[in-house]
Amino acid sequence: MAANFRLQRLPSANPGMALAARILAIALALVIAGIILAFTGNNPIDLGLQVVTASLGSTFGMEDLGLLIIPLILTGLSVTVAQQIGAWNIGAEGQFYAGAFAATAVGLFVPLPEAWSLVFMFIAGAIGGMVWILVPTLARAYANVNELITTLLLNFVAILLVFYVSTDAWRERGGVANSATARIPAEMPEFWGLVHWGLPIAVIMAIGMALVLSFTKWGYEVRLIGSNASAGKYAGIAARRHLITVMLMSGGIAGIAGMLEIAGTVHRLQGGISNSYGYLGIMVAVLARGSSLGVIFAGALMAFILNSGIILQTQGLTTSAVLAITGLILFLTAIGDELSHYRIIRDKT
C-alpha cells in the first residue's frame, strides 16, 4: 500500500504554528538583511544591538515605541473592521487626516474646559473619519462602486485639505511653526512618561471590537456576510445596513487615531502629521489576519520595525536601504503567516 503526500490549506491556522512561522520568517529576514549589510561594509551585529538597545533598553526608547503603537493599532483596527464584512478600507490615511482636522477645529475654535474639550475633540475626530468614508460607503452600498478606488482617492483630498489650512487659513501667525496651526490647548493626560492615555484607549477599543464581533448577534451577522454574502442574504440579514454601519465604524476609528495624534503627540495640525500611519495600518491588518486582538500585536511589531528604521537612518543607512529591509521583513512575515495554514496530508492508496 503506497502513501502519497500532499499539501492541504486549512481555513484557520493553529496559533502556535502561526506564531512559530512568524518568528522564523522574521529571523530569516534579519539573516538575509544582515548578509546584505555585511557585504556593504556594515556590521549587522552592531547595528542590531544598537536597534534593540535604543528601542527596548531605555525608557525614552520604550516611550517612542508606545507613541508609535497608538496610531498603528487604530488604523490597523480600522482596516480590520472593514475586512469583517468583506470590504477594503484603503482610506484610513485620509480618515486619519479628517479626524485630526475635525479635532483641531474643536480644540482651537470651541472654548471649553480642557476635559470637555478632549471629549468633544474625540467625538469630532470620530465624526470626521465617518464623514470622510461616507461617500465611498454609500457608493458601495447603493451603486456597488468599488471602495478600493474611492477610499484611496479621498486620501489625497484630505492630505491637501490639512496642508492648506495648516499653512494658510489656520496657520499660526508669527508663531514658532510657520506651517502649522497654533498649539491645541487641550492635551491628553500622560499614562506613562511621554505615552498618553491614547495607548490604553487603543488597546481597549481593539479588545472591545474583538468581543463584539465574537460574542454578539450583530458581530455574527457581520462575519457571516463577510464570509458568504449569499448565505447572509438567504438568512434574511440586512447586508446593506450592516455594510454602512461597519464602514462608518471603520472610518470613525481611523478618525479617532487622528484626534489622539493631535491631542496626545503633536499638539498642532500640520502637513505630514500622519507619517503614513493609514497606509501602514493596511500592513498591520494583513499581519493580524482579520483578528482585532491580533491588531495589538501586529501594531506593536510594526511600531518596532518603524522605530528600528529611524534608528538605522541615524547610523548612516540610507532611506532606501531601511525601506528595503522593512519590506523584506513584512514580505517574509506575510509568507510565513500564509504557510502556517498548510499541512502535509498523507493519503493512503
Supply the pLDDT for residue 2.
54
pLDDT digits (tens), the chain, 349 positions: 455 777 777 766 777 777 788 888 888 988 898 888 888 788 888 888 888 888 888 888 899 999 999 999 999 999 999 999 999 999 999 999 999 999 999 999 999 999 999 999 999 999 999 999 999 999 999 999 999 999 999 999 999 999 999 998 899 877 666 789 999 999 999 999 899 999 999 999 999 999 999 999 999 999 999 988 777 777 788 889 999 999 999 999 999 999 999 999 999 999 889 988 999 999 899 888 889 999 999 999 889 888 888 888 887 777 777 778 778 887 888 888 778 878 777 766 5
Please give the single-letter amino acid code of residue 47.
L
Backbone dihedral angles phi then psi of residue 6, each to the nearest 5 degrees? -145, 160
Instruction: Tell me how far apart the alpha carbons of residues 49 and 41 are, in angstroms, rounded to a whole number.
Output: 17
| 31's grid cell | 539573516
Instruction: Tell me how far apart the alpha carbons of residues 149 and 144 are, in angstroms, rounded to a whole number.
Output: 12
| 164's grid cell | 492648506
| Residue whose cell numbers read 539573516 | 31
CB within 8 A of 238, min separation 6: which ones?
none
Among residues 237, 210, 255, 215, the alpha carbon closest in space to that of 84 is found at 210
Instruction: Tell me how far apart the alpha carbons of residues 102 and 261 are, in angstroms, rounded to a whole number.
Output: 12
Indicate the pTM of the whole model: 0.90
Supply the pLDDT for residue 19.
76
Among residues 251, 43, 258, the alpha carbon closest in space to that of 134 is found at 251
Supply the pLDDT for residue 53.
87
Among residues 182, 212, 203, 302, the alpha carbon closest in space to that of 260 is found at 203
